[in-house]
Amino acid sequence: MAVKRFRRGEIVDVDFYFPDKDVTLHHPGVVVSSQELQEDEDGLIYILLISSKNIHPKYTIELTDEMVTKPLGKRSYFVTHFLMYFSIEEINFSYGRAIRQPYLDQVISKTIDSIFGWEIA
């Protein structure tokens, strides 16, 4: 049986852990790690939170309809400081949507800057 793989930029649903509330909640997220990592590490995948709330504007990018292959249907934000790793078995489902280039590169660059303080030109 073939193992499911997810593409960088694909929007999926996972159970994100929110340590400030000590809860796990279903949320969409965008795959930011490479397929090579999934293969080399037996399904390890990094996913960035997508939220309908803009709680920390310094760390968010608004997700617009032009950024995705199919609109999500509501105002959403990439939360660029909320990155978690999962196994591919923990992914609930794929939304059948993906982030278009070069928007994905911009989101990944902002994520690197938000987490590590390294601005990527």
**CATH number (domain holding residue 34):** 2.30.30.110
Give the model's pLDDT for residue 121: 64
Considering the domain boundaries, does residue 1 fall inside one? no
Considering the domain boundaries, does residue 44 fall inside one? yes
11-45 per-position pLDDT tens digit: 999 999 999 999 999 999 999 999 999 999 999 99
pTM: 0.93
Considering the domain boundaries, does residue 4 fall inside one? no
User: In whole angstroms, what is the distance from residue 10 CA to residue 21 CA?
Assistant: 27
Considering the domain boundaries, does residue 91 fall inside one? yes
Give the model's pLDDT for residue 1: 38
Considering the domain boundaries, does residue 83 fall inside one? yes
Residues spanned by the domain of 61: 10-116
Residue closest to 111 by CA, chosen among 1, 7, 8, 2: 8
User: In whole angstroms, what is the distance from residue 116 CA to residue 104 CA?
Assistant: 18
Residue closest to 99 by CA, chosen among 50, 56, 60: 50
The yes-or-no verdict on residue 2 having pLDDT over 60 is no
The yes-or-no verdict on residue 63 having pLDDT over 60 is yes
The yes-or-no verdict on residue 64 having pLDDT over 80 is yes
Please confirm whether the linkage preceding 102 is cis (ω < 30° from 0): yes
- Number of folded domains that form the chain: 1
90-100 per-position pLDDT tens digit: 999 999 999 99
Rounding to the nearest 10 degrees, give the CA dihedral for residues 79, 82, 84, 89: -40
